[in-house]
C-alpha cells in the first residue's frame, strides 16, 4: 500500500483517484496554492478532474487534518499541505506566504478550553510582514512598495 493510500485511510478517507492526485500535488507544491492553482496544475494530465472536485477534496482534507487553510489576499481558498509544526508570515503588500519554522519561534502551550465551551485543538500564528522583494521594489506612488496582488519571485521561506 502506498504512503498516500495509508495517509488517506488514517484520516478516515477512501483512496479515490482524485484524492490521490490532489494529495500528491500538495506534497509537491509548497507554495500554499489556491484550489484554482491546483486545478490548473492537474487538469492537463487529469482532464476528468473538475474544479468542484478540487474544492470538495480540499474541504475533506482540511476537515480530516491532511492540509490546512491559510490566509492570503482575497477570498480564495489557499491550502498548506506541509507538516503542521510551522506558522506563516504573510506579506501585507503582495500577499506572498512564507513558512516560519516553530523551532525558530516556539509557541506557548495553549489552554484546553476557551470561554463558551470552545475546545482548543491547536494554535496557529500568522506574522504580518513586508517581504524582502517588496522592501527592495521601487515604490509605486506612495513609497510603500507593491500593492496587494503584485507578483514577484520569492523562495517561500521566511
> Would you state the pLDDT for residue 150?
38
Gap between the Cα atoms of 84 and 78, Å rounded:
15
At 49-90, the pLDDT tens digits run 999 999 999 999 999 989 988 876 666 788 888 766 788 898
Gap between the Cα atoms of 58 and 25, Å rounded:
11
Same domain, yes or no, for 66 and 89?
A: no
User: pLDDT tens, position by position, for the chain (158 residues)?
Assistant: 688 999 999 999 999 999 999 999 998 888 889 999 999 999 999 999 999 999 999 999 999 989 988 876 666 788 888 766 788 898 989 888 888 888 877 778 888 899 999 999 888 888 899 999 999 987 654 444 444 443 343 444 44
Report yes or no on 121 lying in a domain.
yes
Q: How far is CA 51 from CA 17, 40, 74, in A?
A: 15, 9, 18
Residue 155, classed as helix, strand or coil, is coil
> Would you state the pLDDT for residue 153?
37
> Would you state the pLDDT for residue 11?
92
E strands, 24-114, where? 68-70, 78-80, 86-91, 97-101, 113-114
Total domain count, the chain: 2
> Would you state the pLDDT for residue 129?
93
> Would you state the pLDDT for residue 143?
44
Residues 44, 27, 81, 98: is their CA dihedral positive or negative? negative
Report yes or no on 154 lying in a domain.
no
Report yes or no on 145 lying in a domain.
no
Same domain, yes or no, for 8 and 66?
A: yes
Structural domain harbouring 57? 3-70
Same domain, yes or no, for 8 and 65?
A: yes
> Would you state the pLDDT for residue 157?
45
> Would you state the pLDDT for residue 125?
83
Amino acid at each position: 500500500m502506498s504512503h498516500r493510500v495509508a495517509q488517506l485511510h488514517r484520516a478516515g478517507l477512501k483512496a479515490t483517484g482524485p484524492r490521490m492526485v490532489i494529495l500528491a500535488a500538495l506534497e509537491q507544491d509548497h507554495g500554499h496554492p489556491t484550489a484554482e492553482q491546483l486545478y490548473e496544475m492537474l487538469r492537463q494530465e487529469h482532464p476528468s478532474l473538475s474544479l468542484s472536485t478540487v474544492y470538495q477534496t480540499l474541504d475533506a482534507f482540511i476537515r480530516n487534518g491532511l492540509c490546512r487553510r491559510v490566509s492570503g489576499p482575497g477570498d480564495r481558498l489557499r491550502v498548506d499541505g506541509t507538516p503542521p509544526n510551522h506558522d506563516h508570515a504573510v506579506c501585507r503588500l503582495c500577499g506572498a506566504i512564507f513558512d516560519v519554522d516553530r523551532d525558530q519561534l516556539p509557541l506557548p502551550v495553549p489552554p484546553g478550553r476557551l470561554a463558551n465551551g470552545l475546545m482548543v485543538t491547536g494554535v496557529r500564528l500568522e506574522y504580518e510582514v513586508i517581504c524582502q522583494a517588496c522592501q527592495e521594489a521601487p515604490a509605486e506612488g506612495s513609497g510603500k512598495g507593491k500593492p496587494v496582488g503584485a507578483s514577484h519571485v520569492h523562495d517561500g521561506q521566511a
